[in-house]
Amino acid sequence: MAAAVALLAAGAFVLPAGVQAQHQHHHDHGDAHAHHDHAGGPVECRTLAGPPWSGLPGNDLELVRRVEASVAQFANPEAARAAGFRPAFGHIPTMGVHWIHAGRMARGFNVDEPDHLMFARIGDREELVGVAFAFMGSLDAEVPTAFESELAAWHDHPELGPRDQTLHMLHVWFVDSPYGPFAGNNFALPYGVRGIAAPDPCWLTSDEEVERFELVASTLSLLAQLGDDEGRAVEPGAIGALRGPLRDQFQRGLERLEGWEVALDVAARNGDHHGWVRAAEGLLGALRPAELRAVENVRALVKGVQEPGALRQGG
């Protein structure tokens, strides 16, 4: 157990071939607010898609406040490092950078001692956007049940555990998260990292809307690696790194895409749903075939690593 925790804290993250090659399949379920795939889906848009999470049971509201208060002292990476947290996995588009405290993780679940901090660069600073609780165990290990909401479903990562073990994890978000406060993926995060307003979560009312929202987020996650007007670029991690000729192609095409980014931001800030859809379709339509494949691959990867380990292993 101790060795596995140490390996995790060191940042060892190898995606299984089945996840790397995964293709997403889309099914029409009508109302996206009633649809939850294994990687998460839209929740009640006014009370569960962002703080203060008023749609949560009272017990969970209190616990989320406790969790956030318990890590207020680690508001920046420097404070986190001084307290023993270390970065791992690099920046993941829908999660940011996980900072792991091996000692806390080894001691086991404690709602007042999250063992993972999640930072993302928002504007000109690294912001603490959430935390995670994690432990290593068998696929059928019993997970803590401190939170009452059905949204507080632990996900697991067999690629991060030794043989016959998986890393069980639960996120708690402090920022807007259209799939809820405990979502494995936060597809609103790439919008914030890129400095663009995310669309109203109440617009995510069909599978088509959800797919468009996620593909735009995945596009923005790649563009964030190229830098902003101030020259700040996101250092890619284990998922979605732009390299070689593809990076050069995206860099050359920035002017082709940036106008659509502005249109997305304006439409979102003005509450213009139709305008946002036009801008999103314009951005995605402006991608070259190789660029679109890269975007689709990012989306497939971040959703794939949230699939239950039993499903990925054929269970």
pLDDT digits (tens, 9 = 90+) for 187-216: 999 999 999 999 999 999 999 999 999 999
User: What's the CA gap between 308 and 55, in Å, rounded?
Assistant: 26
Yes or no: say if 276 and 268 are a contact pair by the CB < 8 Å rule.
yes
Phi, psi of 133 (to 5 degrees): -110, 140
Query: Rounded CA gap, 306 and 85, in Å?
Result: 23
Task: Give the E-state strand segments of 56-143 in sequence order.
Answer: 86-92, 96-100, 116-122, 125-137
**pTM for this prediction:** 0.88
Domains contained in the chain, number: 1
Percent pLDDT > 70 in the chain is: 84
How confident is the model over 59-72, as pLDDT tens digits? 999 999 999 999 99
Structural domain boundaries enclosing 227:
1-315
DSSP character at residue 57: -
Q: Which of 97, 78, 89, 111 lies closest to 8 in space, CA to CA?
A: 89
Check whether 296 has a pLDDT greater than 70: yes
